């Protein structure tokens, strides 16, 4: 692959410019629900919520949520009867005082739930992130993440026995060994790395079609800070030495249980040696110019030219924090943030 020659100094257009990061209104964030932590250990309170005439249930499968089929999309709120197990209810919380419970549309013991989808339609969580208002989008991510955790933790990690729902859905307990289990979220750093000269580092992973690139990402390792993970992952995936990681924003990413920690970092390209992809994970890593990336953020049917792949450069979807970080970088003309 061809990499543009690195200039001896910063481009005059970028020299001396450092900007502050504006807040990002990310899809899948912004849930306003009261998670009712103070009520969950009181069985009488949970029974009261189950009997509340305003109580409703939200449905989701492993990767889809049930939304109302109307001009203004929203998560479909259905009656409780027959849609949840009252002995092991999964309470999401209180929405303007109305109790909201969760129902797993993949649960084989609740086949009747699936028949109710005729009231609305199932869409992927990625679609929901773009269709729904901000607060509903965040609630959808919470719904999918919590149901996903229950789906994958039906058995005790300590002794293998079946577990039971506790704290109205925010825990599971093993009746055999007494172990309590709580939802876990895996921290993942995702970072936009720029060279200070209007170029950004992008990579193509194994299995991605030619032309599809994104910024780099990786899990935070045990005993590691997110900032340390940023520098380690950039070097492991590209052989590029980054520095000055700056936290920007975070986004729940329940595919199945990650929290994306968005960063920007800097790197100096010191010569024409191209980045090197990590064997077994990355197919290509390369620097892309502001013009190349800006062209790729235009309409999908707009022709694009780049020298890094056989197809036109394609970026992540708008629902992802990856795309939001890229768009923010493009919007400020490829300038680095003030560190």
pLDDT digits (tens, 9 = 90+) for 142-192: 999 999 999 999 999 999 999 999 999 999 999 999 999 999 999 999 999
State residue 63's pLDDT score: 87
pTM, to two decimals: 0.86
Exposure string over 202-236, b if 16+ CB within 10 A, otherwise e: bbbbeebeebbbbbbbbebeeeeebbebbbbbbee
Rounded CA-CA distance 260/262 in Å is 6
Q: What is the mean pLDDT of residues 289-296?
A: 96
**pLDDT digits 0-9 by tens, 88-122:** 999 999 999 999 999 999 876 544 544 455 578 89
Could you tell me if 192 and 326 are in contact, meaning their C-beta atoms sit under 8 angstroms apart?
Answer: yes
The correct CATH number of 43-181 out of 3.40.50.2300, 3.30.70.100, 3.30.420.480, 3.90.79.20 is 3.90.79.20
164 or 70, which is more confident: 164
In this prediction, residue 138 has a pLDDT band, given cuts at 50, 70 and 90, of very high
Q: What is the mean pLDDT of residues 42-61?
A: 95
The correct CATH number of 18-26+185-337 out of 3.90.79.10, 3.40.50.300, 3.40.50.150, 1.10.530.10 is 3.90.79.10
- Domain boundaries, given as residue ranges, for the chain: 18-26+185-337, 43-181
pLDDT at 24 over 50: yes
Sign of the CA dihedral with 297 first, then 303, 308, and 311 last:
positive
State residue 106's pLDDT score: 86
**pLDDT digits 0-9 by tens, 189-235:** 999 999 999 999 999 999 999 999 999 999 999 999 999 999 999 99
State residue 224's pLDDT score: 98
209 or 298, which is more confident: 209
The domains spanning 18-26+185-337 and 43-181 adopt the same CATH topology: yes
Among 222, 188, 217, CA closest to 201? 217
Rounded CA-CA distance 337/332 in Å is 9
State residue 7's pLDDT score: 35
State residue 20's pLDDT score: 54
Q: What is the DSSP letter of 338?
A: P
55 or 2, which is more confident: 55
State residue 278's pLDDT score: 85
pLDDT at 27 over 60: yes
Mean pLDDT rounded to a whole number for the chain: 87
Q: What is the DSSP letter of 236?
A: H
């Amino acid at each position: 692959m061809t990499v543009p020659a690195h200039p001896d100094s910063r481009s005059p257009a970028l020299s001396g410019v450092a900007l502050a990061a504006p807040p990002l209104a990310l899809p899948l964030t912004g849930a306003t629900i009261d998670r009712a932590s103070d009520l969950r250990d009181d069985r009488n309170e949970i029974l009261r919520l189950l009997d509340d005439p305003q109580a409703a249930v939200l449905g989701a499968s492993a990767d889809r949520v049930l939304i109302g089929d109307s001009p203004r999309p929203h998560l479909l709120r259905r009656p409780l009867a027959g849609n949840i197990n009252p002995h092991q209810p999964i309470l999401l919380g209180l929405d303007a005082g109305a109790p909201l419970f969760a129902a797993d549309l993949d649960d084989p013991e609740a086949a009747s739930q699936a028949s109710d989808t005729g009231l609305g339609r199932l869409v992927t969580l990625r679609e929901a992130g773009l269709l729904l208002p901000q607060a509903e989008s965040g609630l959808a991510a919470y719904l999918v993440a919590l149901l996903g955790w229950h789906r994958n933790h039906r058995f005790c990690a300590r002794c293998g026995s079946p577990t039971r729902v506790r704290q109205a859905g925010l825990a599971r307990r093993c009746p055999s060994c007494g172990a309590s289990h709580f939802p876990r979220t895996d921290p993942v750093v995702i970072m936009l790395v720029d060279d200070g000269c209007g170029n950004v580092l992008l990579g193509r992973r194994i299995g991605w079609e030619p032309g599809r690139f994104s910024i780099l990402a990786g899990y935070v390792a045990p005993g590691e800070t997110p900032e340390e993970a940023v520098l380690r992952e950039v070097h492991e995936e590209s052989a590029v030495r980054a520095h000055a990681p700056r936290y920007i924003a975070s986004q729940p990413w329940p595919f199945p249980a990650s929290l994306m920690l968005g960063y920007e970092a800097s790197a100096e390209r010191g010569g024409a040696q191209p980045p090197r992809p990590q064997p077994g994970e990355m197919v290509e890593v390369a620097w892309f110019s502001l013009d190349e990336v800006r062209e790729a953020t235009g309409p999908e049917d707009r022709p694009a030219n780049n020298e890094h792949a056989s197809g036109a450069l394609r970026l992540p979807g708008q629902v992802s924090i990856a795309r939001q970080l890229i768009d923010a970088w493009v919007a400020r003309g490829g300038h680095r943030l003030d560190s």
